[in-house]
Chain A
Amino acid sequence: MATKKFLYVNRKAPYGTIYALESLEVVLIGAAFEQDVSLVFMDDGVFQLTKGQNAKSAGMKNFSPTYAALGDYDVNKIYVDKESLEERGLTLDDLQHLTWEDENEDWAEKDSIRLVTRAEIAEIMDTQDVVLSF
C-alpha cells in the first residue's frame, strides 16, 4: 500500500458540534493504515487539547483522555497554532501534555505537541498529500 502524508485539520471546539469527536475517530481508525499522519489544531480547535475538561453538565461524554492515546498509535506530529492559542488567552500549559515513545532511541519519551506559527502551518499543509479538515 502506498504511504501518503495525511493531515487532519481540527478547527472546532470539542463540544457544541460533533466534528472533534468524529475527527478523532478517523485518526484512530486511519492509524491502522500506516500512513504518515500529522494533526493540526487551530482556531477553536485548540480547545480540543485543553486539560481538565468536564463535559458532564453539558450532558456530553468527555472524550479528551483519548488524545493521550495518540502516541500509542504512532500519531506524534501534533501541531498547535500559536496565534490561535494566544487569541483565546491560552498557553501550552493549558493543554494536555501529549507524548510518544521513540523506539529508535530506547523508547525515550518525547513531546508530541509542536507549537507553530500560522505561516508554518501553511508550509506544513503545502507538503501534504491528503488534507482532511474537520
Chain B
Amino acid sequence: MKFSIMVSEGPYTHQASDTAYQFAKAALEKGHEIYRIFFYHDGVNNATSLTTPPQDDRNIVNRWSELAEAHNLDLVVCIAAAQRRGIVDEDEMKRHRKDGHNLAKGFRISGLGQLIEAGIDADRLIVFGD
C-alpha cells in the first residue's frame, strides 16, 4: 500500500504528530510505501530545528529527520502555513530578509499542490489532526 500522510497539529501540545510518526514507522516496518508526509496548520512546527525538548523527553523534530533519512521520505512543509508561523529555509530567509533559518534536516518547503498530489498519487491519504 502506498500511503500519504497529513499532519495538522504541532508537536508536544497535541498527540497527532506522535501518532502520525508511529503510524509512518509501523507502515514502513510492514513494508508499505510512504509517498509523502505533508505538514499543514500548526503541523509545520514539527519542522523547526530550534526545538529543544528536555533531555529525558522524545525529540519529535529529530525523530522525523531521522526517519526521513533512513527511508528517504519526502517531508513537505506548506509554505504559506510555515511563513505564518515562522518556519523558513535558507532561500526563504534570503527572500524575506530574515536573520536566520530554522527548517530541520530532511524537510522541504513547498506549496499546497503537494498535498493534493499526495492525495492523487497515494492509495490512501491519512489525516492526523484535531
Residues of A within 8 A of B (CB): 1-2, 4, 6, 18-19, 22, 25-26, 29-30, 32-33, 35, 129-134
Q: Residue of A at shortest CB range from B121? A: A2
Residues of B within 8 A of A (CB): 6, 8, 40-41, 80-81, 84, 111-113, 115-117, 119-121, 125, 127, 129-130
CB neighbours (8 Å) of B115 from chain A are 26, 30, 132
> With A19-B41, A26-B112 as given contacts, are A133 and B117 in contact (CB-CB < 8 Å)?
no
Bound complex: CA A32 to CA B115 (Å): 13
CB neighbours (8 Å) of A132 from chain B are 6, 115, 119, 125, 127
Bound complex: CA A35 to CA B8 (Å): 22
Bound complex: CA A25 to CA B117 (Å): 15
CB neighbours (8 Å) of B121 from chain A are 2
Contact present for B119 and A22 (CB under 8 Å): no
- The one of A29, A32, A35 in contact with B120, judged by C-beta atoms closer than 8 angstroms, is A35
Contact present for A33 and B117 (CB under 8 Å): yes
CB neighbours (8 Å) of A130 from chain B are 119-120, 125
Bound complex: CA A18 to CA B45 (Å): 15
CB neighbours (8 Å) of B80 from chain A are 22, 25
